[in-house]
Structure 1
Amino acid sequence: MQSTLTPVPAGWLATIVTSLEMTARPAAPTEPVRAPFKLERWTAPASVEAYRALFRKIGGPWLWFSRLLLSDAELAAILDAPTTELYVATRRDGTAIGIIELDFAAPSQTELAFIGLTPELAGHGHGGWLMQHALRRAWRDDTVRVWVHTCDLDHPGALRFYQRQGFKPYARAVETFPDPRVTGLYPRDIAPHVLLLA
């Protein structure tokens, strides 16, 4: 079999996206994961400004960009939809440090649209606490599938983390898009581990 090499234009990025799914409700952990944070639901109408600020704070190092391309009205329509549930993890002083965004639009399925913590919390075991809360809310009585996707621009441990939580990979694709540092969505010096060619 012959390999192919597809050029990526200057100012663009290419990433491998892996989709994962869980088709059975996970067994409840014998001992709940603990963390010095609390989780609260953001109800409609959600503040698009606060959401974008947290999205950037969590996703900036991994170049999360999709929600930043939306107008206020487009973003509000997603966040305030009856099929969206949005949860924010906070420190005791109220500082937002994590997000869970669930999409229930497909019947009997839940997309874990976004989940993450601010970069300084990575690697301290708090992801398990956040995922435990996400899965508890993602699985409803009629749910048959929960799915999520990640890419190789995300945290290096993200794919293994999802697999440890019980998600199984089922699809892979290559996504190309304008580098958000070139388009001005992020400063050019963010995510230095991702080569910027522009």
Structure 2
Amino acid sequence: MTGSDAVPLYRALYAGVGQEYCWWMRRSMPDQDLADILHDPAVHFMVLRDSSSSPVGFYELDLRRGGDANLAYFGLLSQAMGRGLGRMLLDHAVARAFDAGSWRLRVNTCTLDHSHALPNYQRAGFVIRNVVSETWDVPDEYVPERLRRL
């Protein structure tokens, strides 16, 4: 998706999908920086819509490194979960990456992501290649309530 409505739609989906999983990097990014990413022809922002045309999920596929593709973000809004839509959307992202000539497709997930994220990626053919322990200094306004209690 491109155009002037891409940034607000991306922000709404990114926040809606990621708010419970501590997604924050794109939320804190200035609009122009996000627009530059989304308007790059090698970045694919794909929106999944339900039968009423309401957005229910998205992915951001980054092909800027040639054949070394990165599924930068992927997810569904909570009301779309449990209906097989994640599997369909992930299959679409994988096919799009390899149809574009990618020789590798990477995805990163973490322990804060939905519990079905890793199994869903593995079902689609992803394998664990590297595990890294990271600590992030997340701004307080992006920390979900459930994590503030820890």
Task: Report the TM-score, using the length of structure 2 for normalisation.
Answer: 0.90
* Distance in 2 between residues matched to 1:75 and 1:43, nearest whole Å: 12
Moved more, 122-131 or 109-118: 122-131
Deviating more after overlay: 119-128 vs 129-138: 119-128
Identity percentage over the alignment?
Answer: 33
Structure 1 pair 141/158, CA: closer, same or farther in 2 (3 Å)? closer
Q: Aligned with 1:150: secondary structure?
A: coil
- Out of 103, 128, 132, the position equivalent to 1:173 is 132
Deviation digits for residues 142-161 of structure 1 (CA, Å, limit 9, x no counterpart): 32111101000000121111
Please say if residues 45 and 80 of structure 1, whose CA atoms lie closer than 8 Å, have aligned partners that are also in contact.
no
Q: Which of 88, 106, 112 is the aligned partner of 1:147?
A: 106
CA contact (8 A) 2:22 2:142 kept: no
| C-alpha displacement of 1:46 | 4.7
Does 1:127 pair with 2:100? no
Q: Offset of 1:140 from its aligned partner? A: 2.6
Q: Contact (CA 8 Å) 1:89, 1:99: kept in 2 or not?
A: yes
Residues 2-41 of structure 1: pairs in structure 2 closer than 5 A? none
1:52–1:68: 8 Å Cα contact kept in structure 2?
Answer: yes
| Partner residue in 2 for 1:74 | 33
The secondary structure found in structure 2 opposite 1:178 is coil
Larger Rg: 1
Q: Distance in 2 between matches of 1:141 and 1:156?
A: 30
After alignment, is 146-155 or 87-96 more displaced? Answer: 87-96
Name which of 101, 117, 123 aligns with 1:164.
123
**As a proportion of its length, which structure holds more helix?**
2
Q: What is the distance in 2 between the residues matched to 1:141 and 1:128?
A: 20
Q: Which residue of 1 aligns with 2:15?
A: 56
For the Cα contact (< 8 Å) 1:109–1:145, is it kept in 2?
Answer: yes
Question: Of the candidates 52, 56, 81, which is equivalent to residue 97 of structure 1?
Answer: 56
Q: Distance in 2 between matches of 1:145 and 1:85?
A: 16
Which consecutive residues of structure 2, in runs of 5 or more, have no partner in the other structure? none
Cα distance in 2 between the residues matched to 1:79 and 1:46: 11
1:137 corresponds to 2:96:
yes
1:11 corresponds to which residue? none
**1:46·1:79 contact (CA, 8 Å) conserved in 2?**
no
- Structure 2 residue identity aligned to 1:80: H
- Aligned-residue RMSD, C-alpha: 1.8
Q: Does the 8 Å contact 2:56/2:79 carry over to 1? A: no
Return the structure number with greater relative CO, CA threshold 8 A, min gap 6. 1
Match of 1:185 in 2: 142
- In 2, Cα distance between the equivalents of 1:179 and 1:145? 30
How many residue pairs are counted as aligned between the two chains?
150
